[in-house]
Structures are given as C-alpha cells and as structure tokens.
Amino acid sequence: MAPKKEGDVVFSLNGKYISWAHTVVAYTAFIGALIVGVYLHYYKIVENEHYGYPDEWFPSVSATIGDRYPERSVFMIFIAITSGPRFALVGLWYFLTRRPNTSLPGIVAATGLFRTVTCGGWTYVTSTDDHNWHDIFMISYLVATLPWTLGCLALSPPNPKAIQYRKVLAGLFFGTLVPLIYFFIQHKVHKVAGAYTIYAFFEWALILFDVGFDAVTALDFETFELVVKDVKGLSRGDAKLLKESVKEKEHDSALIQTSTFDGPYYWPAMLDAAADILHGYFFWSILTSLGLLVWYFPLWHMGISGYEAMILCTVSPVLLGIPSIRSLAIKYNRWIHMSSLVGLLAWLVKDPAYRLFTVGFALAAGCLAWSAEWYAERRNSTRLQSRILAWTVGLTLSSIAKFANHTNNPVWPIMNAENGGWNKTGLLLAIFAVWRSTRPVSVSGGDYVSPNAKKGSGLMAGLGLAGLFFGMHSLLSDSSTMILWVWEGFPVRGPLSVPHGAVTILAMSAGLFLGIALPGFLISWTAYGLGAVGAALLTLYPDWTGYYGGLLLAIYLMGVAPGLITSAVQHNPALSFGFGFFIYNIMLLFHVWVVAYAFVPGGPLVRERTDWVMLTTMLLIGAGVFSALITNTSHQQKSTSSPRGRKQTAYYLHILLALQLLTGSIAYLRFPTNNYESYHKDDKLITAGIWTIHFSLDNDMWSSERRMAAAIKDLELDVVGLLESDNQRIIMGNRDTTQYLAEDLGMYVDYGPGPNKHTWGAALLSKFPILNSTHHLLPSPVGELAPAIEATLDVYGTQIDVFVFHSGQEEDPEDRRLQSEYLAKAMRETPRPAILLSYLVIKPGEGNYNTYVGEKSGMHDIEPSDWDRWCEYILYKDIKRVGYARVSRGTITDTEIQVGKFVVGEPASYSNERISEEQVPPGRRFPALFRGEGVRGHRYHVFDEPWYYA
C-alpha cells in the first residue's frame, strides 16, 4: 500500500450507515429487553396495580425496560451503544441542513441534543430509582419531540421519498397519542380490565414510529459522506509535520433574514414578546382577583354589603373621553401600567377591606392604561396587533398558571407563602415585564381620528367588547369551568378537569392563531354563527356534546378578540372601552344573580336563567361584529400581510406553541396516580364527615384549600361531603377547591351539580371508588335550588349509598318541607346501606327532623341526644355506627366538621349506649391530636371528646 500523503483520506463512511446503525441498535435495545423480559418474568411484567394475567397479557414499555434484571440491563447496554450513532446523526443532520443567514438548523440540532440527553435520563434513572426524575426526563423528551419533528420536516432536503416517509411517521406518532391517552385513562381512572394491554401496544408503536422517523435520514445521507482526512500527513509517521496555518480573511456578509429565526435580533424580539405576554398575564391576574375580594364581604354579610360597588373600578376608561386626561394617559402610559402593579402587593395588606381597595385602584389603573395604549396605537397596525396578542395570550397564560396551581392563580392577593402563593416572584417578574413591555407613545396619537370612526358606532363596539370580555372572563379564565358545566357525575361520560383542561387551553390558542391568520373570516357572520352554535351546545347539552360546543365557543371568543378590539380603538375610547366595561359589569352581576336571586333586589326576575346570560353575551358580541364589519375594512389585514407584521406576530405564536407544550406537561404531571387506600382498611372502617367550607375563603380572606386538606388528613376521613363549594363564577374566581383536595388526599371526587345548575354547590370526596352518582336539584319554589349528590360507593366490596345535601335557608320553610320529603323518599327507596352528610337547618326532634329521621326515610340520627345542632347532621341506616365527633372549624370557615365512624360487614346496631374509648379497638378510635387545645385551631368541642358506641 502506498504511503499516505498530505490530504489523503484516512477513513470515509457513508452517512446512511450511521443512520442504519442507530436504528438497528435502538430496535435491538427495546426488542431484546422485550424478549428477555417475556422469557424470564412474563407474569410479573404484564401485571399492573389493578390486574394481572390473563386480563392483562402484554407488557408496557416501562415495565419491560425498567423494572427487572436482566432485561433492564440488556436495554441499558444497547441504548448506551446507540448514543454514539445518535449524537453523530444529530451532527450530520445539522451539517446537511445548515444554510447561510438562518439559525433554524442550529435550533433543531440543539433540540436533538437535548432529546438525546433526556433519553439517557429516563433510561438510566428508572421509575423504581426515582419516579419524579424519571417522569421529568420522559416528559422533557416527549415535549422536545414536537419541535424536533417539525424542525426536521421544515429542513428536509428535496427528497420526495424521505419527505413522504417523515410525514407518514410523524402523523402516525402524534396520531397514536390520542388512543394512547384514551386507553391510559380507561386503565387509570375507569380501571377497565385489559385496557393497559391495549395501551401497551400503542406505547410500543410510539417507539417504532419515533425510531423509524430518525431512520429516514438514511435516505438523505446516501449522498452525504463522513470523511476523515489527513491534512498534515500525520498518518505517514513524519515527525516534521507542524506547519504554520494561513489565516483566511473573513468576509462580512449582509444579513438577509428569510425566516423568523434569522439574524441577531430574534432572541431580543422573543424576550420583548415574552415580556408583553407576562404583562398581559399580570393584568388578567389582577382582574380575576377583584371578584374574589368583593365576594368575601357579601359572603360574611349574607347579603349585599356595599363593597360590591368596587367592581365599577373597571370603567376607568370612561375618563379617556376628557382630552387632557387622554393625552396624559397616553404620554405617561408606562407609569400608569407600573402603578397597576400595586395589585400584586395587595397580599401584604392584612385588612380585607383595604386589600380590596388596593386591588380596585390597581385594576382601575390597568384598565385605563391598556385602553389608552390600544387607542394610541391605532395608527400602527403592527404595534396594535402585538398589544392585542400580549393581552389575549396573557389570558391563556393565566389559565395555564391556574391549571398548574389547582385553579388558584399563584399571584392572587388571597395567596401567600403558606398556601401556595408566588407573590414575591410574581412581583419581580411583573416589574421587569411591564418596564420592558411598555414604551412611550406619541401624544399625537390621541388626536388622530380614524376615517372609519364615523362609519361605525362606538356604542356598538363597546357592546361587543362587553360580550367579549365577559365571555373570556366567565368561561376561559379557568380551564375547568366549561368542563364542570357539562359534568354529570359517575360513571364518567365526559371530559375531566385533568387532563382535558389542557384541551380547553389548546382550543383557546387555536382560536387566537386563527384570529390572526384569518381575521376576515373570524369577524364574519359565518364565524359568529359557529360561535353561537358552540354557545348553544354548551348551554343545553351535558357530557362530550356540551364540551365540544364549549371548545367551539372558546375558539371563537379568542379568534374574534383581535377584530373586536381593532374595531373599538377607532372610536372614542370613553364609549368603546368605558361603556364596554360598564356593560361587562352588568353582565357580571347578571350571571351571579341567576343563583343569588334570593339576596338581591329583583333577583327572582332572572332566577336560574343561565340561558339568558349566554344569549345576551352572544347578542353583545354580535353588536361588536356588526360595528367591526363597517370599521375594520383593510386595517387588520395590513398588520398580518406585511413582512414586518408577520414576523412580529410569529414571536407571540412561538411562545404560544411553547405554552402548549408546557400545558401538556402539566396535564401529565397532574394525572392522578394515587392508590386511593382508606386509612383503616384492616378494620373495614369508613370515616365520614360533613363540612360547609364557605367557598374556600377563610375568615381573613386567604385561600383555605391547604388548611382544609391538613384537617381532613389528620381526621383520617375516608369520605367527606363539602357544601358551599361551587366557585366557578367570576365573583368567586372561577376556582375548583376539590381539585387540590382530591390530588393531595388521594381521593375520588364528584364536583356535584355544575355552575350552570344555579346552586351554591355540593361535592363528594371518597377514598372508595364511586360506582355511580346522581345529581339532584331539590324542590325550591321560593329560595335557591338545593343541591344533592346520591352516590354509590364500593366500600370493601360492599355497595353503600352516600347522600350529600344542602337544604334551603331558614327564611323558606315551604322549600325545606318539600326538600325533606324529596330526600326522605330517595333515602327510603335505596336497598343499600346509606349515610347522609347534610346541612338541614332544623332542630333535633322538631318539624322536618321527623321527616329526615324515622319511618319516612328509614334513616337514624347518628346521635339523637345531641340537641345543640342546627345545620349539620349525619344520618345512617343498615350500617354499624361506632363513633361520632364534632370538631371546631378554626378560622377556615363558619361551620364545624362533623364526623361519624362506621364499620362494614358487621350487623347494624341502633342502640345509643355509649362506651369508653378504652373499650374501642385502636383502629376504630378518633385521632388523639384533636383533644385538648387540638391542632391549628381544630379540636373536639361541644362535648370535648369523641363518643363511641357498642
């Protein structure tokens, strides 16, 4: 062989072989582990927490590769071998696809490297080693798969065969996620036998499609060769090889940006967009917190308190009708925005009234600043579009923050460090975001009169904004609101707040994207008709049909927002924004009065008319559409048709896409993984409690979910009924207390009658599976509707019915009489053992008490001699009662906790003979920590100790 010379090729390898090596070794890792696992541990790796062979007969990927030796080691060894070709594949793809003046190949390559590292993470940190970190690596890998896939499709060389394969495999990969999630829910939530086996097949299919997608690079690498060249003749063994290098001249080239990722300005622009969106998020955080603070006062006054007038702070844009104030608001817009941040400092104000005033001032400043800024930018369509996007994506981010924090916004003034608040972090982010987001606006913008202003109507535009603001706030400020509208109980027949809240957020984002991409269509009567259909379906139908309507409405509301705001800024802002916020407040009261009619003047006129509220909302939006069709003409289209407008918009859409990935990760992390075990299963004990939680606002205006969870956990409640629990209205923050309680305590949850059923709420939490539940709306001809849940639980193999019920108020005796007869009939007719957890508004032994207790119902009072009761009662039949206790409320609410202990499988006894605690087996006793002074303000009270029965 001739000696090698300078420049000779030492080694060459066609790129396709690297791709094939990666594919073969990767498949070997998975299939090898599967073969070894099936051969050695078949019955163990097909078994899950619910079923084993023969119900489940095919192992999942995670059980195969991570649970047992030696298949786990087989997988790890081959995956380690795969890492070399994998890194080479990412590097070769970068060199093959890189282009001048664009950074997209670098971003895709960085994503590929990140995926490779996270793959190593979930491979070598198994779920057995550390479940949390295994999930974090796995979620990160799956999240990075989307931009990697889209990036590879975008950068594919002009190879039709490779492009076709990539599209097919990518479609199969993401399409497989739908049935994968469905069968996982069937397994995890519904515990369907065999569902996990079907899930496993889809999980293995994902592996095949994922590796296959990367294998397609072999087609592109056929003409791409990896060469090792001896440029100095080192391979000849010559000792005198060092030569001076000649530095080549660097030539500057003009930066011609051809995509959104081009040039040095991309990341600063992305930071600007992120600051804008955070700015919008903090505005929505302050807006959604006001209702909560207002609600605290009528809640404790049991009627109108006067503090309700604070909702009028949002009409501050009416001041823009005064030219001098309008000019000042535009000139000093940044400082007005900054002053609104005092709303994020309100958590430091301890007095509830002053806290409300602080937030009211902040919201007045925020509404004034946003309205003035939109109005001032009406001549700059690109800038106006950006500000609208900041505000609307800010709503989406607000909903995501609540989705991640169990429907509480972490920067609300009802939050603090003890109950999950991020107030300090939020304030620092807000100062940075608002400062970077805002900039001086030309005062002359306040003098400009749009040529289209005379064509439309400022009042009509304001009506449109009122409907838009109310629809977005009442339905979209929390991802679970529309889901609870259509919730009908067990068995599950529709969406769940987790994970389907992520679908609601996806629909919001899709609507916003369509509103930017197709502004002419979204502001048309055709789109309006589709939105109206969605509103009708959501209002009239339960379960999936209603939810599909809700998703359609969410898409429409977000999509029509840019067009309606663009129309409104072309009119006098005092009319469009000031009047719009005023009508929005009327709608706010309207949707509260449909349930609070007993406490407000004229309330019975709108009693239980959610359909009227929805109809009015759509009519208001229709007025805005009518005005926008006249005024918008080509204004909005210009902002998205120009290159600068498209580029500016793309920054926000990139962040919106990232937020969807974040939402999917949150949905995965929040998916229930509890085993739902009762506290004393060996004793076959069921501990049941009833608690009126006063809408999860404690005596000092703090969110009380975490303190409630601690009390329920310490009392070892297996079943608990919660009353006054429906917070899914603007005035209550659009919250769902039961989400945190169920996830923290490991319990099944039935939210009870939804927010469109016009009750104050009843909910059921249970350690035992809820086989079936029915929601009742009891007769209430005079006062508010009385909610009840009738649920059948599987308690240690025995079916037991649990009723959770809130009767009418003291002022409505006829309501309470009819309700007692209705519920007594339902309890008498059940053939199963039953427990009633209730709020009855009666005195023991008097009036309706004898309907609830006795022959009419078949039920027995848990302690007939306890005469000091008025509201809360526990009744039972055909089950053995062994204990009863009353526990003080602390400062969480205005009502105590009542608790009863029952034993399943022993004959029922109705004797009221009490025994001492020493005569009770330890597993049947109440916790000792509530004796004496108790813990955190909770103690046994009234008779200062639990009572026990033989």
> In whole angstroms, how far apart are CA 888 and each of 217, 833, 844, 944?
68, 28, 20, 10
- The helix-helix angle for 266-301 and 352-376 (nearest 10°) equals 140
Could you tell me if 74 and 33 are in contact, meaning their C-beta atoms sit under 8 angstroms apart? Answer: yes
Could you tell me if 734 and 728 are in contact, meaning their C-beta atoms sit under 8 angstroms apart? Answer: yes
Q: How far apart are CA 125 and CA 66, in angstroms?
A: 9
Strand-pair partners of 938: 935
Residues assigned a catalytic role: 806
> In whole angstroms, how far apart are CA 154 and each of 148, 158, 162, 175, 777?
10, 11, 12, 19, 55
Q: Which of 771, 715, 765 is nearest to 743 (CA)?
A: 765
**Count of residues making up the chain:** 950
Q: How far apart are CA 45 and CA 61, in angstroms?
A: 10
Q: What H or E segment, with its residue span, contains residue 349?
A: none
Could you tell me if 656 and 512 are in contact, meaning their C-beta atoms sit under 8 angstroms apart? Answer: yes
Q: How far apart are CA 62 and CA 119, in angstroms?
A: 13
Contacts of 270 (CB under 8 A, 6+ apart): 651, 654, 655
Could you tell me if 773 and 721 are in contact, meaning their C-beta atoms sit under 8 angstroms apart? Answer: no
Q: Which of 154, 150, 141, 133 is nearest to 114 (CA)?
A: 141
Q: In what order do the strands lie in the sheet with 860-861?
A: 770-778, 786-795, 798-806, 834-839, 872-877, 860-861
Give the three-class secondary structure for 128: coil
- The helix-helix angle for 543-568 and 458-471 (nearest 10°) equals 140
Q: How far apart are CA 647 and CA 796, in angstroms?
A: 61
Could you tell me if 776 and 787 are in contact, meaning their C-beta atoms sit under 8 angstroms apart? Answer: yes
Q: How far apart are CA 539 and CA 756, in angstroms?
A: 8
Strand-pair partners of 96: none
Could you tell me if 720 and 768 are in contact, meaning their C-beta atoms sit under 8 angstroms apart? Answer: no
Kindly state the tokens that stand for 106. Answer: 């670098």
Contacts of 468 (CB under 8 A, 6+ apart): 557, 560, 561, 564, 565, 620, 621, 624
Kindly state the tokens that stand for 694. Answer: 């006063």
Question: Pairing relation of β-strands 786-795 and 798-806?
Answer: antiparallel
> In whole angstroms, how far apart are CA 400 and each of 289, 394, 432, 660, 732?
16, 10, 21, 9, 18
Could you tell me if 598 and 784 are in contact, meaning their C-beta atoms sit under 8 angstroms apart? Answer: yes
